[in-house]
Chain A
Amino acid sequence: ILNVEQSPQSLHVQEGDSTNFTCSFPSSNFYALHWYRWETAKSPEALFVMTLNGDEKKKGRISATLNTKEGYSYLYIKGSQPEDSATYLCALVRGSNYQLIWGAGTKLIIKP
């Protein structure tokens, strides 16, 4: 059974602080890694699709890095704002048939 692990499960961060969390995955047969942001009662929205070892992607205050050799990706949020409160999901893609294996998510709560 392949597991994609996200840590921590939940995180409380003071507004203005920076934070990061981890997605760990088995590194064999890596094809791609997805990050999504999900606010309850809304559609999960895509943040990043990462494919290359050493990839670093950025979208505003959010950035992500990828290490396919050791099997992890970090998501960073700089200067957290209340609107960053959400669950952040990662999903591993193994092989070109593109079936995704999802982590359970990291729930981020920003305290004003």
Chain B
Amino acid sequence: NAGVTQTPKFQVLKTGQSMTLQCAQDMNHEYMSWYRQDPGMGLRLIHYSVGAGITDQGEVPNGYNVSRSTTEDFPLRLLSAAPSQTSVYFCATRVRGDGNTIYFGEGSWLTVV
């Protein structure tokens, strides 16, 4: 049981490049989300999904796109990378039946130069 798997773990991008952070889960959780973690700040929600075919914006959605074609996968696309998007990105899932416990991936460290 792998839980939540994120790739890549580390990435360096040039300003203006695009890329996709992959997230896959094998727990059949309906709710999936992407957060970014910046020094001195709490996790901030980028986008989330309550099920396949449904996505919505979080607190800081600008510059990012998501899609949810299956329950398992929730990729995050950076459309045109900017230095302000240098951050640690976490994919997370949640299920109501488990006290709403959140399950995180290991994080993706992204640097935009």
Contact = CB atoms under 8 A, between A and B. Distances in A.
Contact of A41 (B40, B42, B99, B106): B106
The main secondary structure of chain B at its interface with chain A is loop
Contacts of A93: 100
A104 B99 contact: no
Interface string A28-47: 00001010100001111110
Contacts, number: 49
Interface residues of B, number: 20
B42 A36 contact: no
Contact of A43 (B40, B94, B105): B105
A43 B42 contact: no
Interface of A: 4, 9, 32, 34, 36, 41-46, 49, 89, 91, 93, 98-105
